[in-house]
Amino acid sequence: MSDENSHSGSGSAKSWLDKVGQWLQGEPQNKQQLVDVIQDANERDLIDQSTTEMIEGVLEVASLRVRDIMIPRSQMITIDITNTVEQFLPIIIHAGHSRFPVINEDKDHIEGILLAKDLLLYGFDQHDHKLELSKILRPAVVVPESKRLDKLLKEFRSERYHMAIVVDEFGGVSGLVTIEDILEVIVGDIEDEFVKAQEMRKNTRRINSSTFAVNALTSIEDFNEAFNAQLADEEVDTIGGLVTHAFGHLPARGEKITIDGYLFKVSSADRRRVIQIQVTIPELVKHSSVDS
């Protein structure tokens, strides 16, 4: 046997012995091995896919920095400290957030955080000019871009705050981060009920007490939630796709079909797709979240 083959053989044997040693130890030696163990457990149905993704998300949090998930400065929705109720109330209503950074002149000068719920303590109307924002602001927590997410999450929990202003190495504001941003790394997107309802209302218009005009791109999941329906979404994702699939062809304007008691009428379509659908809900469906 040549020296080259001897070296190759000894290298393979060593690699094999290393693996055997790891198996005998029964413990992963690094992060990748731990991920492999988790994925192996998933493949053997010891844990389900959602649990697997959550565990992997926890591991990812330990390796990420605030800069990796922060909302950038350009996307921050802020309120100026000099704004009157008439000026800042529409901003709060339109955004639908629970917390807003309050600035003085520009975003590098954060005066504090306004909690929308704190406004409920005041009996003012939109034209009330007496409320001074400076009197109801909460202190702003400031963190560097380089801060590790696992440490920030621990601080969020122990100090009981939900938002932090992010600054760069020069002290300038570069964005903000919330506890929800970190949790989404672990559990995936957390859907905001306000935004979801707002989006559904935008895609749906009431025609009468039982008939609605619905955008064909509305997801079946959103439709089911809004109308207390149980339409199947295994084969298609949108209402337009569901109707087209039920017809077995691309329906033309005016064609009707009933699915699970719901009457669907195509009110707008082109040569490639359904655009708008008129939906008549069954009499048994008494409550809808579309108008709530």
**Percent of the residues in the chain that have a pLDDT greater than 90, as a whole number:** 33
Do the Cβ atoms of 292 and 197 come closer than 8 Å? yes
For 114-148, how does the pLDDT look when each residue is reduced to its tens digit (9 = 90+)? 998 888 777 655 455 567 788 889 999 999 999 99
Boundaries of CATH 3.10.580.10 in the chain? 67-187
**C-alpha distances in Å from residue 233, one per residue of 57, 107, 167, 229, 240:** 27, 44, 44, 11, 12
Boundaries of CATH 3.30.465.10 in the chain? 193-280
For 40-77, how does the pLDDT look when each residue is reduced to its tens digit (9 = 90+)? 777 878 777 777 777 777 777 888 899 998 999 988 99
- Tell me the fold of 193-280: 3.30.465
Please give the distance of CA 3 from its chain centroid, rounded to a whole number: 59
Global pTM reads 0.54
With both helix axes pointing from N to C terminus, report the angle between 239-247 and 220-227 in degrees, rounded to the nearest 10.
100
For 220-234, how does the pLDDT look when each residue is reduced to its tens digit (9 = 90+)? 988 888 888 899 888
- Tell me the fold of 67-187: CBS-domain (3.10.580)
Q: What are phi and psi of 27, to 5 degrees?
A: -130, 135
